[in-house]
């Protein structure tokens, strides 16, 4: 093939990105598509994280949990004494190759002392930290001791009866179970969170008694409504769930949704102190304290005089000292709104089923668990059936010996070679080799009629048991009855009262928290240098001229109220959000607050414009030096999280000439530095949701001209300036003669 044609053919190959790959030992660098590299190297890793690390399976455990608990079970820690945690960690490394620190952290979370689980699996001694505290760290494994909690007996019941599969460990030295044959739906009894690749799981805990009752109900009636039995999650930290029946039903059916958890508190009237004893599972003491301190420093919560952590061996307690005359319930409603004293638990019931991740609701999870448990029971019954059949088979052979014990002794005695004993017994009594081997191994002291008759008497009971087991294996109803009886037994033995109770929004909270900020009319002033004043109308009427710095001029004057929200736009394309109430009332004779210092601007950042609003309605119309203009809804600057600073508040592609607030549409005049002007209605510019949109061309600029001024034209003046009014944009406009500059010039 000619070289040119070969090169042309190469150019027609896939244009997918490629990378160079060095072939070891050959000195050759070959091209390889990135997609192939990702598929060969990253995809196996991603699947390993999803399937073998981050997501729980139907037994309720991730591999790290299962390996740890099984190791403790094999160490005899279900019934024995506690042992040093370091010993457990060392033994677990035979199954878990991820290192001692990771193993110990897993054990800490499973421990009773950490209080992270509703039903802990590890009985602990020593300092295991606290799940509700960021700073209460756990002790090293050489200082703590542990064993399995009694409830773990239900996790390992009949595990030695082939109820689950076993696989080799990572070095093929031993075996470990793929699942634990839990006799209750442990997957929903304890919290479980995992972050895999491109997916995550967040399973909340439910009360053991309720979940067992719900499972029994679904087994008996698959169409039952779970809300009648399973009211909602039950968290180890207690607190209150703000009950929402529709959201709860959504979680039960889809596996996704959110639960609002509220702290539990009491008020000591004598000490003027609020005592918080239970907090949401999703937060910590330190997070709550830090937020309340931050609010107090910012002046948003002025009723609190002191806050301290009084947690001790008796449990969690946050004490909040409040000032005299403060309504504690009203204050707590505000704190619920402003802090994580009320928080949200986001449910995402993503569980591995047969090696595949699947998001399921509670209905489907309990259905999958029932199917898994049915298989465990079948395997256990089959294992026991097999053992009983083997024993019965041996006893049948022993029964034949009963007919003539002397003959058996004679056969054994007269057989010259040991290897011929079993075959001769087989021939002499018509039994198989297994039965003959069993007879041949009987001790001499047992060759009496009483022993043999007592053993043969077992055959009748064995025959009954075998018939019953075969009946069970052939009847799904009987298998389900076994599961139901086991669930009742677990609920009776390990059930406990709910820790998390319920409250209802319509009874326990106002729809909209009462606004504590006083509201009254004010006048807001902003100078070109960035000085801000808030003056009441009464004070303004009694004042003289404004005090200003040399060379400074008053730029913006707005009539508003004390609750008005203020947006300060800066020359770094950022906006700082605050309220008029954050500024103290002043007088015209005062210089005012310097906004860059008050709102902690970045270095060399200055105010360009001040916009006020109470409901974020209307639009911002922004005119740029390049002749473009953008119309952005003011709602684009509204945030649900009360953020104080937003970046990319407007476009940085061209210098901002003017920012004008309009309620709906208005007529705008744009003037260039070459003396030309146009007037157009903002209806010609479509609104854009992106705050930093570059806008559309409104004024055609030629010869290096730039937009220099812009302002809003009142309707009564349009008649005088009709020649500048444009019906379409962009337009170059007319020479600006006869236009009075209202001194709303460059910023």
Residues with catalytic function? 143
Cα distances from 213 to residues 48, 219, 726, in angstroms, run 35, 10, 75
Residue pair 397/456 in contact (Cβ under 8 Å)? The answer is no
Tokens 């809804």 belong to 633
The helix (H) or strand (E) run that includes residue 246 is: helix 245-254
429-432: long-range pairs with CB below 8 Å, 24+: 429/397, 429/400, 429/401, 429/403, 430/400, 431/396, 431/397, 431/400, 432/397
Kind of pairing, strands 501-503 and 240-242?
parallel
Provide the 3-class DSSP secondary structure of residue 595.
Answer: helix
Distance of CA 41 to the CA centre of its chain: 28
Query: Angle at Cα 221 formed by Cα 217 and Cα 223, nearest 5°?
Result: 110
Residue pair 150/85 in contact (Cβ under 8 Å)? The answer is no
Backbone torsions φ then ψ of 564, nearest 5 degrees: -65, 140
Cα distances from 145 to residues 79, 95, 98, 119, in angstroms, run 15, 20, 21, 18
Virtual CA dihedral for 229, 231, 237, 239, nearest 10 degrees? -140
Distance of CA 574 to the CA centre of its chain: 31
Partners of 564 in the β-ladder: none
Annotate 253-281 with DSSP letters as a single string: HHSEEEEEEE-EEEEETTTTEEEEEE--T
Kind of pairing, strands 565-570 and 575-579?
antiparallel
- Write out the two tokens for 558: 């707005």
Partners of 677 in the β-ladder: 671, 734
């Amino acid at each position: 093939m000619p070289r040119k044609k070969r090169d042309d053919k190469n150019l027609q190959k896939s244009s997918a990105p490629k990378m160079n790959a060095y072939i070891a030992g050959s000195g050759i660098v070959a091209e390889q598509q990135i997609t192939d590299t990702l598929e060969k190297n990253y995809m196996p890793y991603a699947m390993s994280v999803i399937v073998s690390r981050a997501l729980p399976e139907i037994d309720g455990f991730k591999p790290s949990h299962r390996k740890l608990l099984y190791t403790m079970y094999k160490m005899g820690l279900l019934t024995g004494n506690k042992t040093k945690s370091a010993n457990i960690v060392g033994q677990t490394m035979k199954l878990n190759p991820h290192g001692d620190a990771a193993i110990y952290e897993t054990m800490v979370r499973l421990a009773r002392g950490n209080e992270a689980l509703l039903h802990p699996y590890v009985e602990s001694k020593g300092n295991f930290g606290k799940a509700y505290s960021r700073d209460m760290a756990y002790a090293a494994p050489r200082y703590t001791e542990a064993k399995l909690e009694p409830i773990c007996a239900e996790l390992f019941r009949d595990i030695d009866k082939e109820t689950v599969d076993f696989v080799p460990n990572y070095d093929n030295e031993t075996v470990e179970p793929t699942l634990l044959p839990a006799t209750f739906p442990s997957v929903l009894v304890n919290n479980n969170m995992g972050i895999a690749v491109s997916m995550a799981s967040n399973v909340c805990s439910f009360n053991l008694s309720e979940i067992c009752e719900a499972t029994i109900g679904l087994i008996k009636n698959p169409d039952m409504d779970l809300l009648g039995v399973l009211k909602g999650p039950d968290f180890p930290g207690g607190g209150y769930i703000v009950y929402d029946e529709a959201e709860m039903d959504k979680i039960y059916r889809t596996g996704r949704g959110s639960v609002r958890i509220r702290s539990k508190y009491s008020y000591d009237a004598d000490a003027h102190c609020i005592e918080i004893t239970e907090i949401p599972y999703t937060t910590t003491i330190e997070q709550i304290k830090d937020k309340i301190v931050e609010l107090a420093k910012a002046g948003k919560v002025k009723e609190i005089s002191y806050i301290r952590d009084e947690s001790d061996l008796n449990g969690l307690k946050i004490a909040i000292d409040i000032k005299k005359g403060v309504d504690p319930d009203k204050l707590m409603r505000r704190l619920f709104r402003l802090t994580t004293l009320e928080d949200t638990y986001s449910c995402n019931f993503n569980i591995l089923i047969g090696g595949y991740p699947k998001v399921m609701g509670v209905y489907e999870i309990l259905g999958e668990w029932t199917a898994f448990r049915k298989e465990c029971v079948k395997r256990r019954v089959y294992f026991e059936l097999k053992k009983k059949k083997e024993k019965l088979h041996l006893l049948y052979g022993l029964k034949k010996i009963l007919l003539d014990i002397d003959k058996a002794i004679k056969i054994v005695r007269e057989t010259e070679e040991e290897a011929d004993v079993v075959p001769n017994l087989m021939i002499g009594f018509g039994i198989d080799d297994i039965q003959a081997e069993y007879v041949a191994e009987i001790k001499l002291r047992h060759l009496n009629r009483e022993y043999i008759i007592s053993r043969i008497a077992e055959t009748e009971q064995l025959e009954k048991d075998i018939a019953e087991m075969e009946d069970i294996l052939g009847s799904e109803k009987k298998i389900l009855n076994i599961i139901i009886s086991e669930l009742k037994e677990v609920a009776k033995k390990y059930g406990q009262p709910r820790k998390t109770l319920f409250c209802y929004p319509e009874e326990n909270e106002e729809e909209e928290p009462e606004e504590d900020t006083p509201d009254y009319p004010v006048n807001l002033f902003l100078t070109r240098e960035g000085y801000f004043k808030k003056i009441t109308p009464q004070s303004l009427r009694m004042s003289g001229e404004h005090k200003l710095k040399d060379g400074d001029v008053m730029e913006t004057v707005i009539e508003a109220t004390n609750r008005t929200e203020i947006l300060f736009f800066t020359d770094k394309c950022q906006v700082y959000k605050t309220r008029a109430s954050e500024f103290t009332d002043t007088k015209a004779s005062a210089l005012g607050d310097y906004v860059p210092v008050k709102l902690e601007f970045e270095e060399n950042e200055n105010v360009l414009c001040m916009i006020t609003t109470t409901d974020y309605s209307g639009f911002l119309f922004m005119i740029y030096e390049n002749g473009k203009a953008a119309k952005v809804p003011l709602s684009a600057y509204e945030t649900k999280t009360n953020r104080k600073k937003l970046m990319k508040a407007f476009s940085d592609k061209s210098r901002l000439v003017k920012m004008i607030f309009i309620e709906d549409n208005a007529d705008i005049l744009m003037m260039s530095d070459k003396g030309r002007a146009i007037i157009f209605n903002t209806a010609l510019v479509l609104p854009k949701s992106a705050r930093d949109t570059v806008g559309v061309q409104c004024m055609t600029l030629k010869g290096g001209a730039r937009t220099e001024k812009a302002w809003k034209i009142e309707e009564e003046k349009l008649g005088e300036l009709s020649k500048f009014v444009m019906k379409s944009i962009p337009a170059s406009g007319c020479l600006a003669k006869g236009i009075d500059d209202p001194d709303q010039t460059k910023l």
